[in-house]
Chain A
Amino acid sequence: QKEVEQNSGPLSVPEGAIASLNCTYSDRVSQSFFWYRQYSGKSPELIMSIYSNGDKEDGRFTAQLNKASQYVSLLIRDSQPSDSATYLCAVNQGGKLIFGQGTELSVKP
């Protein structure tokens, strides 16, 4: 079992729709969780972090964490073509960030 798993996609949504990205992790002691966005040929940029169970909203982005189910998700509302990228889920394990394989999102105009 991989430490951090994501649906590889690609996920295609129309402009203005909600994009839903999912991630599961295996290490129960993990305390902090992150979503990074990576455009092709670029390095990842942090878009959301979450530490407590529940929802955390930042603009069009909402991260959801359920530690009991070892599940993290990211919702992108009002998706824009500029949101087309690969979204990486990362989990802090003992001070090291471990990444999932990423989900490629395509937002169609």
Chain B
Amino acid sequence: GAVVSQHPSWVICKSGTSVKIECRSLDFQATTMFWYRQFPKQSLMLMATSNEGSKATYEQGVEKDKFLINHASLTLSTLTVTSAHPEDSSFYICSADNDGPFYGYTFGSGTRLTVV
């Protein structure tokens, strides 16, 4: 089955610094990947759709200058949280699938970001 790898699993950073999270499709090519954020005891909220070779599409209310998404190849998408603040502390999860949206998506293992 499709495997999506996400790195790092957890990261602690100081307020004001930037953090990059990588999402890789290991055994398939993904023209589209998705980035979600999940706060404790809440559901997954879609942040943006990452498209290979083009600009990401952000959901309403998500700051595109703060959450930079780059999908430079068919197997790698990155999310950079710029000038992180404690309120950005969350569980960030990427997803992708080679079977198309009709059949659901496989999720990466997630990244726990803590900003101190």
Interface residues of A (CB under 8 A from B): 31-32, 34, 41-46, 49, 51, 88, 90, 92, 95-102
Contact = CB atoms under 8 A, between A and B. Distances in A.
Interface string B82-106: 0000000000010100000111111
B103 A97 contact: no
A14 B95 CA distance: 33
What size tier do the contact residues of chain B reach?
20 to 34
Contacts of A46: 104-106
B44 A99 contact: yes
Given A43-B110, A96-B34, A88 B101 contact: no
Interface in B1-30: 6
B24 to A, nearest CB: 14
A98 B102 contact: no
A50 B32 CA distance: 22
B49 interface: yes
